[in-house]
Structure 1
Amino acid sequence: MKETKKQGGLNAEIQSRIGHQLRAMYDDVVRQGVPDRFAELIRKLDDPAEVAKHLAETDEQQAAKNDGRD
């Protein structure tokens, strides 16, 4: 007796509906824009002086936390 395998996957209509829904959700997220807080963080990361300042502050905090113990 020959077995027939059931093919998995979604038909074209279901794939199309999922694609439309995903695009609608993505478009909504894009329209919301970047929150001011994130935009400020990105601006700071793009500024080498800000990154160096943050790294120095982090090192100082870590040293204080360890009480000089490494």
Structure 2
Amino acid sequence: MSDDHSESVSAAANGLSSHHEGGKETVLGSEIQAKIGQHLRAMYDDVVRQGVPDRFMDLLSKLDKADTPSSEGGGRK
């Protein structure tokens, strides 16, 4: 048996899939991919629930005011 085949058999024995794409080998099973997806969704949901901090809202408000042309000519072009 070749080394590549031995690695594939070993990966399969560990419940992982082995794919060769563009000279790179990826070894992630569907269970691992699902677990990573669950963790990423949980982290994203946590960030979304936190909302935008007040200091960022203040900065955005200032930027909006600076972009609005005023009669005094103080706005950006």
Kindly report structure 1 stretches of 4+ aligned residues shifted beyond 6 Å.
Answer: none
Structure ranking higher in helix proportion: 1
Aligned to 1:35: 53
1:21 to 2:42 alignment: no
Rounded Cα–Cα distance in structure 2 between residues aligned with 1:9 and 1:43: 47
1:19-39 CA-to-partner distances (Å, cap 9, x unmatched) read 011100110111010110011
What residue identity is the alignment partner of 1:32?
Q
How far the C-alpha of 1:45 sits from its partner, in A, is 1.2
Any unmatched runs of 5+ in structure 2?
A: 8-17, 19-25
1:8-29 CA-to-partner distances (Å, cap 9, x unmatched) read 3211110000001110011011
Rounded Cα–Cα distance in structure 2 between residues aligned with 1:27 and 1:12: 22
Any unmatched runs of 5+ in structure 1?
A: 56-70
Number of aligned residue pairs? 54
Aligned to 2:62: 44
Query: What's the RMSD between the two structures over aligned residues?
Result: 2.7
Structure showing greater relative contact order (alpha-carbon pairs closer than 8 Å, 6 or more residues apart):
2
Q: TM-score, normalised by structure 2?
A: 0.54
Structure ranking higher in strand proportion: 2
